Structure 1
Amino acid sequence: MTNVLFLVVDSLRYDAVAGDEFATPNLDQIADSGVWFSKCFSQGISTAPAMTSMLTGRYPLDYGGHWYLEENQPTMAEQFQRNGYTTGAIHSNPNVSHLRNFHRGFDTFEENILPLESEGMLERAPDDLLRYANKFIRLLRRTPYMPAEKINPKLANWISRTDEPWFLWTQYMDVHGPYLPGDDFTYRNKIRAERLWRKAAVNSPEEITDDEHEELLRNYRLEVEYLDREIGQLLDRLEREGDLENTVVVVVGDHGDEFYEHGTYGHGNLPYDELTHVPLIIRFPEVASVEQSREVEAPVRCIDILPTLLDMEGADLSLEMEERMEGESLMPLLQDGETSYDVVVTEKEVRGGDHLRFGFRTEGWKYLYDGKNDERFMYDLDKDSEEKENVLDKYPRQRERFEDHLRERFKSIKRTSEGIEIPDVDDKPGVEERLQALGYK
């Protein structure tokens, strides 16, 4: 049985790894020795839908949606646990916390979303006191998340004391805004970065100056390069300690970030490619008998990662997982086969609103739907890869094909979510401030 190291990088664009502008030698080395999926697309344009789909293998809006994992929803961790794995998660992302039921199936679920919790010694403390205490502590911290240089020792230590086989997931937050100049964790940089991030991603993106735009891009690049170094150091340590010999390493972005390509910053826009096209690298151990050091150019989806890993292990799936899983294993594709789909779906429910957004992408076309104003857009990607010219009225047949997909998604969401009750998720005191620091309204 093979160990699984599942490294998810929040807000990592495809071109941050694939292009020459960013220096990512360690990720390049993993890709050169593994399988590089150059056309991988996320099923979400923000963390909640992206990670819901990755950790369940289903579309984000089915079975009660992506803000909370309902009790009957099978998870990736549960399936590994079912097949004899010890499972662990170490991260600091409030969107995938135990408050939203993402801890299910993990033997270890270590999250660092709040320094002070309402359990334990402070269980009787008033909510307002906890809120102000956490806000004060967050002001003292240089980042609104745990940086990679603190996450990675925790990962390595967990692996060293855990018997094989194991499954370990982390979600690096370093590339997510507010962008710091790499690992330059000074208070001056923190204040500057958070102010600029809120201006760009929340309050007034149209007022970002050319110099501020370049600063955002430069700091994003430095964040990516910092994370690349940290991932390289982690893998070097694991190799020295003999923990990589029988381990599959997965590196994937949960979604991308926009730099005003379509009028905004961050990831609050429609599913344009700068938000959906993500790097996916899988490096298999020799026992997997997979041809490596190659690029796969066929379009694939993030929901295919879970069934691929389980298929590689010949895992026994629960009936509920088999029923709900929309993703499919990429192992046949790696053996010169092909996938069964030709349309990639991306979707989300907008935070703080009640409208839905969808994206449907083929090799040559993209169709977008914004439920807020019932707006539709279609792009001919062969002629317009930057998705600038809406050709919705020029190609009625192509439009109708996509609108069939849209109608089917609405039907599926209604059918699968019928009778499922999702509780109101009340974030603990201080979590909302943490989300606001990350640019969420």
Structure 2
Amino acid sequence: MTNVLFLVVDSLRYDAIHDDKISTPNIDTLAEEGISFSQCFAQGVSTAPSMTAMLTGRYPLDYGGHWYLEQGQPTMAEQFQANDYSTAAIHSNPNVSRLRNFHRGFDMFEENILPFDPDGLVNNVPDELLRYANKFARIFQRTPYLPIEKINDNLTEWIDTTREPWFLWTQYMDVHGPYLPGDDFTYANKFRAERLWRKAAVNAPEEITSDEHDELWANYGKEVEYLDREIGNFLNDLSSKGVLEDTIVIVVGDHGDEFNEHGKYGHGNLPYDELIHVPLIIRFPESAEVPQPTNKEEIVRTIDILPTILDFVDADLSDEMNDRMEGESLMPVLQGQEPSYDIAVTEKEMRGEDYLRFGFRTTKWKYLYDGKHEEGYLYDLHDDPEESTDVADEHPDVVDRFETVLTDRLSSIEQTSEGITIPDIEQGKGVEERLEALGYK
């Protein structure tokens, strides 16, 4: 059977690996050897909705939403586990933590969220003392997450000691703000990066100067290059051990980051393309009967990754997974067929708010709905790929079509979430402070 290596890169936008000034030879090689999807769109503009979609194969807001996986929701890991796979997750993202129920189905779930976790030897230490210990440790840590080198060391250790076949998921955080200049670490550039990131993503994006904007993008590019190098080192190590011969490698961005294209930085805006157009590369083993290398230009969705990989390994799915899964296998697309859909949906419930945002994208049109102001916007992507001019008044028939899709989504969300209770999550001050360091208010 085939191993599955699922490498998610937080905040990696599509154009970052196609920018002539950003060097990504290892990701490029992976794309040249496998299947590269040039029109892949995420189902969320931030981690919680996007990863909910990828790990469950359903839209983020169905079945109680994306901030917590309710107990009846089957997951990707559970399907692999039921098909006799060893399963593991190793990451440091608070938005996909055990607290939010993302651990189900994993034999090993390692979340490196806080330097001092209230478990094991420190489980009797007072919460306030742990909070100050974590806050103090953050001053000396390079980043508010575990860097890729340490993540890869942990991934390698698990692969070396587990039985095959296995399913392994990680979420690299290095491209996420605050943007350091790659691995060129000093405390001076650490503190500057954190200050600039807070200014851009949270406090005063309108006050970012031209030089600061250029610095943000340049450092983002250096983070992408650093990530590419370490992914290359990791895959080369696995290749030298013969591990990759029977392993599917998936590299995908969970969402992008905005650099003032629509007045903001980070990923808290409406689903513009800079936030939802992400790279998706799947390299199958050479022995697989898959037409690779190739580039697919059809619109596909990150929600389709789960059914695609489960289809390839011929996994048996639970009845509940079959009932809830909205994504569809891309294996027919790889054989030349068209997807059954023509709209990529993106959606989110805003953190700490009670309104929803939606994006509906086709090859020609983008319709955005902002529930905060109950307003819709239409963009003609052929004439206006930068999504700068709202043409809703000029195309009422197109707006009507998308409003029907929106109404159907709202109805589905209401129906699927009926009777489902999501518990209140007490994250603790330490986790909240970690989220704030990542740019979340």
- Residue identity over aligned pairs, in percent, reads 70
Alignment of 1:198-347 (within 5 A): 198-347=198-347
Instruction: Supply the AA of the counterpart residue of 1:357.
Output: R
* Partners of 1:86 and 1:18 in 2: CA distance: 35
* Partners of 1:20 and 1:218 in 2: CA distance: 13
SS at 1:245's partner residue?
Answer: helix
* Partners of 1:68 and 1:288 in 2: CA distance: 36
Which consecutive unaligned segments of at least 5 residues does structure 1 have? none
- The Cα of 1:160 is off from its aligned counterpart by 1.0
Q: Which moved more, 1:179-188 or 1:165-174?
A: 179-188
Partner of 1:353: 353
* Partners of 1:327 and 1:319 in 2: CA distance: 15
Contact 1:364 1:381 in 2 (8 A): yes
* Partners of 2:6 and 2:418 in 1: CA distance: 32
* Partners of 1:407 and 1:185 in 2: CA distance: 49
Give CA-to-partner distance per residue, 1:27-53, whole Å, 9 cap, x none.
000000000000000000000000000
Q: Which moved more, 1:125-134 or 1:331-340?
A: 125-134
1:32 paired with 2:32, answer: yes
Give CA-to-partner distance per residue, 1:80-109, whole Å, 9 cap, x none.
001010001111111101011111000011
Partner of 2:50: 50
* Partners of 1:146 and 1:119 in 2: CA distance: 18
1:60 paired with 2:81, answer: no
- The Cα of 1:428 is off from its aligned counterpart by 2.9
- The Cα of 1:17 is off from its aligned counterpart by 1.1
SS at 1:232's partner residue?
Answer: helix
- The Cα of 1:149 is off from its aligned counterpart by 1.0
* Partners of 2:406 and 2:419 in 1: CA distance: 22
* Partners of 1:72 and 1:198 in 2: CA distance: 37
Give CA-to-partner distance per residue, 1:211-262, whole Å, 9 cap, x none.
1000000000000000000000000000001110000000000000000000
* Partners of 1:115 and 1:229 in 2: CA distance: 26
* Partners of 1:403 and 1:70 in 2: CA distance: 29
1:11 paired with 2:44, answer: no
Partner of 1:160: 160
TM (normalized to structure 2)? 0.99
- The Cα of 1:293 is off from its aligned counterpart by 1.4
Contact 1:130 1:429 in 2 (8 A): no
Give CA-to-partner distance per residue, 1:282-336, whole Å, 9 cap, x none.
0000232101111000000000000000000111000000000000000001011
Report how many residues are paired: 441
1:433 paired with 2:433, answer: yes
* Partners of 1:357 and 1:142 in 2: CA distance: 34
* Partners of 1:138 and 1:291 in 2: CA distance: 47
CA RMSD of aligned residues (A): 0.8
Q: Which moved more, 1:133-142 or 1:383-392?
A: 133-142
SS at 2:88's partner residue?
Answer: strand
* Partners of 2:3 and 2:52 in 1: CA distance: 22
Instruction: Supply the AA of the counterpart residue of 1:340.
Output: S
Contact 1:31 1:282 in 2 (8 A): yes
1:187 paired with 2:171, answer: no
Contact 1:365 1:380 in 2 (8 A): yes
Contact 1:143 1:185 in 2 (8 A): no
SS at 1:110's partner residue?
Answer: strand
* Partners of 1:228 and 1:260 in 2: CA distance: 25
- The Cα of 1:119 is off from its aligned counterpart by 2.4
Instruction: Supply the AA of the counterpart residue of 1:435.
Output: L
* Partners of 2:119 and 2:180 in 1: CA distance: 32
* Partners of 1:279 and 1:309 in 2: CA distance: 17
- The Cα of 1:22 is off from its aligned counterpart by 1.1
* Partners of 1:433 and 1:184 in 2: CA distance: 25
1:382 paired with 2:375, answer: no
Partner of 2:95: 95
Instruction: Supply the AA of the counterpart residue of 1:261.
Output: E
SS at 1:373's partner residue?
Answer: coil
Partner of 1:137: 137
Contact 1:288 1:312 in 2 (8 A): no
* Partners of 1:67 and 1:217 in 2: CA distance: 29
* Partners of 2:211 and 2:117 in 1: CA distance: 40
* Partners of 1:409 and 1:298 in 2: CA distance: 23
- The Cα of 1:136 is off from its aligned counterpart by 1.0
* Partners of 1:29 and 1:372 in 2: CA distance: 43
* Partners of 1:193 and 1:266 in 2: CA distance: 14
The ranges of structure 1 where at least 4 consecutive aligned residues each deviate by more than 3 angstroms after the TM superposition are none
* Partners of 2:45 and 2:429 in 1: CA distance: 26
Instruction: Supply the AA of the counterpart residue of 1:347.
Output: E
TM (normalized to structure 1)? 0.99
SS at 1:193's partner residue?
Answer: helix
* Partners of 1:132 and 1:125 in 2: CA distance: 11
Which consecutive unaligned segments of at least 5 residues does structure 2 have? none
SS at 1:87's partner residue?
Answer: strand
